[in-house]
Copies of this chain bind each other. A is one copy, B any other.
Amino acid sequence: MRFTSEQHADNGVLERAFTLGEIPGILWTPTSAASAAAPVPLILLGHPGGLHRMYPRLVARARRCAADGFATATIELPGSGDRPRSDAAEQARADLHRALAAGEPVDEEIVDRLVLPLVDKAVPEWRTALDALLSLPGIGGPVGYSGGVIAIGIRLAVVEPRISAAGLFAGSFVPRTMFEEARRITIPLHVLLQWDDEGNDRQAALDLFDAFGSQEKTLHANMGGHTGVPPFAGDAVAGFFTRHLR
Please give the residue numbers on chain A whose beta carbons come within 8 Å of chain B beta carbons, in ascending order: 195, 206, 209-210, 215-223, 230, 232-233, 235-236, 239-240, 243
Q: How far is the CA of A206 from the CA of B221 in the complex (A)?
A: 10
Q: How far is the CA of A230 from the CA of B219 in the complex (A)?
A: 13
Question: A232-B243, A236-B236, A239-B232 are known contacts. Are A221 and B223 too (CB-CB below 8 A)?
Answer: no
B218 touches A220 (CB 8 A): yes
Q: Which 6 A-B pairs have the closest CB atoms?
A: A219-B221, A218-B222, A220-B220, A217-B223, A236-B236, A232-B243
Contact of A221 among B209, B222, B232, B243 (CB under 8 A): B209
Closest chain B residue to A193 by CB distance? B219
Smallest beta-carbon distance A141→chain B, Å:
22
Smallest beta-carbon distance A198→chain B, Å:
14
A239 touches B243 (CB 8 A): no
Smallest beta-carbon distance A231→chain B, Å:
10
Q: How far is the CA of A235 from the CA of B209 in the complex (A)?
A: 22
Q: How far is the CA of A224 from the CA of B33 in the complex (A)?
A: 37
Contact of A195 among B195, B210, B222, B232 (CB under 8 A): B210
A215 touches B223 (CB 8 A): yes
Q: How far is the CA of A243 from the CA of B219 in the complex (A)?
A: 20
Closest chain B residue to A203 by CB distance? B206
Q: How far is the CA of A243 from the CA of B235 in the complex (A)?
A: 12
Smallest beta-carbon distance A116→chain B, Å:
28
Residues in B with CB closer than 8 Å to A235 are 239
Q: How far is the CA of A120 from the CA of B243 in the complex (A)?
A: 42
- Show 13 A/B contacts (Cβ-Cβ < 8 Å), sorted by A: A195-B209, A195-B219, A206-B206, A216-B223, A216-B230, A217-B222, A218-B221, A219-B219, A219-B222, A232-B239, A235-B239, A236-B236, A236-B239
Residues in B with CB closer than 8 Å to A230 are 216
A219 touches B216 (CB 8 A): no
Q: How far is the CA of A218 from the CA of B192 in the complex (A)?
A: 11
Q: How far is the CA of A221 from the CA of B236 in the complex (A)?
A: 13
Residues in B with CB closer than 8 Å to A236 are 236, 239
Q: How far is the CA of A6 from the CA of B112 in the complex (A)?
A: 65
Residues in B with CB closer than 8 Å to A209 are 195, 221
Residues in B with CB closer than 8 Å to A215 are 223
